[in-house]
Amino acid sequence: MVMGPQMLGRNRPPAQRATLRVMYGYIRPHRLALLVGALLSLATGATGLVLPLVVRALINDLSDHRGLSHLIVIMSLLMLADAVLGAAGGYLLLRTADSIVLHTRKSLISRLLRITIGALDRSEPGDLMARATVDTTLLRAVVSNAAVSAVTATLTALAALVLMALLDVVLFGVTMGVVAGIAVMETVILPKIGRATRETQEAVGAMSAALERVLGAFRTVKASGAEEREGARLHEAAAAAWRAGLRADRWQAVVGNTTELAVQFAFLAVLGIGAAQVASGTIGVGTMVAFLMYVISMLQPVSQLVNAAAQYQAGAAAVTRIEEVAQLPADPDGPAVLAVRRDGPASVEFADVRFRYRAELPEVQLGVSFVIPPGGMTAFVGPSGAGKTTVFSLIERFYEPDSGTIRVDGTDTRQWPLGELRAAIGYVEQDAPVLSGTLRENLTFGTPEATEEELAGVLRTTRLSGLVERLPDGLETHVGHRGMRLSGGERQRIAIGRALLRRPRLLLLDEATSQLDAINEAALRETVADVAQLITVLVVAHRLSTVTTADRIIVMDSGRVQAAGTHAELIAASPLYAELAATQFLVTDETR
């Protein structure tokens, strides 16, 4: 069973305090830039607060027939300062927000590259991609708008309310009634926005997973004539994301427009009551106009607060999804780097190893035990599902055994530094994956420091020299997505060359010659035999020509070692091996 987006997030949502603490962790390295941006935003708000007082003085001076030129100059300077400070503060905040997104993405990508194979098996890669792209983008809005706006808008609104109270207490009371109504509305609606936003992000993650599934098997989809069926599945996933987005949009539209409507009602109420006060001589026209300007100016900080709260809900959901990746199990130490190299071939020992891929699945290793001395070639044979490939995965520590011990060079693999262990191993997977990029990049993927001489030697060994000569750009030719511009045999030889270029002490070949023709398979078999004189080679094999040349053969069935020995010994002593040799897996040179 694969862990999809919903399973990955089954423990959500976290406490608000914990979410705020995590958000602050993202912001903390950039707090100085945010502080400067906040101060510029406050300065912008301050100029806006002074402007109604200048207008009030202008109206009073106009009534008294005094000169207005100095006040017009002050108003012009205030508006200019507001524009300049607003632009500077806005750019600084957006730049800081982009920097936070970059830092978060780097951290998340580093974490994703270190999660265990088991964690990846239980997740949806498409959803993980959405967390590194869509969810991190939501942090930008939180930082550039919500985090700073929540502070600056609050201070600006409080300052405006204080000045309004000083101008007229009655009109101030009317305004406060409107503010209280907005606060009640936010308390009711904002949690709905949060839930709808989380559902939207989960739906987008599911859509990304569905799309990745199709693109990952694109040729199979087309060959099966499944375009319409898979298209319908993707359309439904997109529609689910759309429906979830509509729910969030609906509540955001309600809260935004209701806020604006409330401020407009406040304006009308102040206008009506203020006009009555002007008519009775309680306040002057300048005071009423200044108060109306403050009511209008309140629309911006109040709207900012409402938007900040809505954006925080989206950001909180994004932070939760990002932090879930941080909770996935990761490799215990750094990547496989060629930091320490021991000399000579490696020995391998399994002692009563038991293993299952997940708790709900049956065991695939049921007390496996064998000893492989340094050097030579050992072949693993057995029916499909016998546990042969799992042996290689456990040696590489892609998974840890549930019980028992695996030793390389007499040392428990759990005691090896993971990077050093993997640096000593060359591993060729069954499907021989090739990455998008050039042929050179694929060959030197594990050894970017390889010399031209070393590269030329591997090309000769794997019989890739002719391919390089035929390609238009030689080693710099792009091989396409997953190497689709190459044949299966060429991809297999590239994977083997990549492993040999690492100069491993232990070489694991999981059916590494299955897609080679007879000539290339025979040539590579000779190469592997030569390599086995210098290092330890383990192969999962299905061909008689490969098995008979092995120094030792281990026969597996149903997660157990059934027999071990040479080809001649096993033909005589192991009925299972004799049956396999006669029927299932061994393809002779004559029949090829």
Q: How confident is the model at residue 412 (pLDDT cuts 50, 70, 90)?
A: very high
Q: What is the mean pLDDT of the chain?
A: 78
Topology of domain 5-326, CATH: ABC transporter transmembrane region fold (1.20.1560)
* DSSP 8-state symbol, 124: -
User: Can you give the residue ranges of every domain in the chain?
Assistant: 5-326, 434-503
Q: What's the mean pLDDT in 149-176?
A: 76
Whole-angstrom distance, CA of residue 386 vs CA of residue 310:
54
Residue type, 465: S
| 134 vs 145, more confident | 134
Whole-angstrom distance, CA of residue 211 vs CA of residue 41:
42
Q: Which residues, including other chains, have CB under 8 Å from residue 182's CB and lie 6 or more apart?
A: 258, 259, 262, 302, 306
Chain centroid to CA 274: 57
Q: What's the mean pLDDT in 523-549?
A: 81
Cβ atoms within 10 Å, residue 224:
11
3-state secondary structure of 340: coil
Helix or strand holding residue 572 (H, E): helix 567-573
Q: Report whether pLDDT(338) > 70.
A: no
Nearest to 435 by CA among 474, 479, 468, 473: 479
| 109 vs 402, more confident | 402
Kindly state the tokens that stand for 143: 């930082």
Surface-to-core class of residue 50, CB atoms within 10 Å of its CB (0-12 exposed, 13-18 middle, 19+ buried): middle
Cβ atoms within 10 Å, residue 294:
24
**CATH 3.40.50.10490 describes domain 434-503:** no
The beta-carbon contacts of 3-10 under 8 Å, at least 24 apart in sequence, are 3/122, 3/123, 3/124, 4/123, 4/124, 4/127, 4/206, 4/209, 5/124, 5/127, 5/202, 5/205, 5/206, 5/209, 6/202, 7/122, 8/123, 8/124, 8/127, 8/324, 9/202, 9/320, 9/321, 9/324
Whole-angstrom distance, CA of residue 282 vs CA of residue 270:
14
Kindly state the tokens that stand for 375: 């050097």
Q: How confident is the model at residue 64 (pLDDT cuts 50, 70, 90)?
A: low
Across 236-252, b (16+ Cβ under 10 Å) vs e yields ebbebbeebbebbeebb
Cβ atoms within 10 Å, residue 329:
14
Q: What's the mean pLDDT in 281-292?
A: 77
Surface-to-core class of residue 4, CB atoms within 10 Å of its CB (0-12 exposed, 13-18 middle, 19+ buried): middle
Q: Report whether pLDDT(223) > 70.
A: no
Q: What is the largest CA-CA distance in the chain?
A: 121
pLDDT, residue 374, reads: 93
Q: How confident is the model at residue 401 (pLDDT cuts 50, 70, 90)?
A: very high
3-state secondary structure of 532: coil
Q: Report whether pLDDT(506) > 90.
A: yes
Q: Report whether pLDDT(364) > 80.
A: yes
Q: What's the mean pLDDT in 301-318?
A: 72
Q: What's the mean pLDDT in 94-122?
A: 82
